[in-house]
Structure 1
């Protein structure tokens, strides 16, 4: 996985810098997510690995499959990736691009997992507190997991805060056993 990130990073950086310069971060994010989803399809993977197709044919067919989602810059990006035999890196490029976009926009995606569904007011308060703590705008995605018994697990990038009853019980059991 590290090798894919290393290879994909210059492409993601170039796409990000171009999108930033043209004030089109959102548009580029959508294009890259769509292109990454296309590369995940088994038929497309088979097509991309076919030695019978030239890189120009692969690029054009890929662009045709993506349809109107790709603007002229996105089509050119696909052609460059195809020439360098890097279309398979699109999922990683998309992830790296979105990470750079989040840093630029000072946003963070937070996943809240609770035992019971939160009402919108509680979710909003948690987002505000987390936004102050992380010094970023927080975008919340909520999930429920009845096995937590109570409390909440917060995941924001690499940061994980386990405030669940299950987590606290596990810590208590570990402390008693050591």
Structure 2
């Protein structure tokens, strides 16, 4: 079977193009984020996997849940996904839509794993340095990973910086192999 990202890409691009044309990128982003959360929630997955529900019923349910956040173009988009049995792609479609949005806004999210809590000053310094390096406005998504022993691992766009102690130890072990 094809990769999820490959299957989601044309839907994300179509949604983004439609959103741009209607000057409604923010509204689309909000809606996609909401329905992606619903479809990744255990109750939402269970409801959408119910064998007696038709594609139309699944789309109607999602559209009703979205309530005021929904609009005609988005409702039709959800219906197309349901008709093509692609509702499970909504989380990936949302991620790709967000990436397209960040690309348009010249912004990026850097995922930072740290062995310890980073102070606000450290986060600000790191964000500024990454913004200069990537030539984009960078916001940080920081998580704690005690397995790193010390240091940080940064992932932003195609950039990966492993400044962790465990990463350095792994490199050293690789170099010491005969």
Equivalent runs, 1:12-161 vs 2, <5 Å: 12-50=12-50, 52-161=52-161
Q: Is the 8 A contact 1:112 1:155 kept in 2?
A: yes
Q: Is the 8 A contact 1:38 1:66 kept in 2?
A: no
Which residue does 1:9 correspond to in 2?
A: 9
What are structure 1's unaligned runs of at least 5 residues?
none
**CA shift in 2, pair 1:64/1:163, >3 Å:** same
Give 1:83 deviation, angstroms: 3.1
What number of residue pairs does the alignment pair up? 178
**CA shift in 2, pair 1:90/1:125, >3 Å:** same
Give 1:33 deviation, angstroms: 1.6
CA RMSD of aligned residues (A): 2.3
Deviations 1:122-168 (A, max 9, x none): 21111111111111111112223344333222111342211122222
Q: Is the 8 A contact 1:152 1:164 kept in 2?
A: yes
Distance 2:147 2:34 in 1: 35
TM superposition score normalised by structure 1:
0.84
What are structure 2's unaligned runs of at least 5 residues?
none
Q: Is the 8 A contact 1:108 1:137 kept in 2?
A: yes
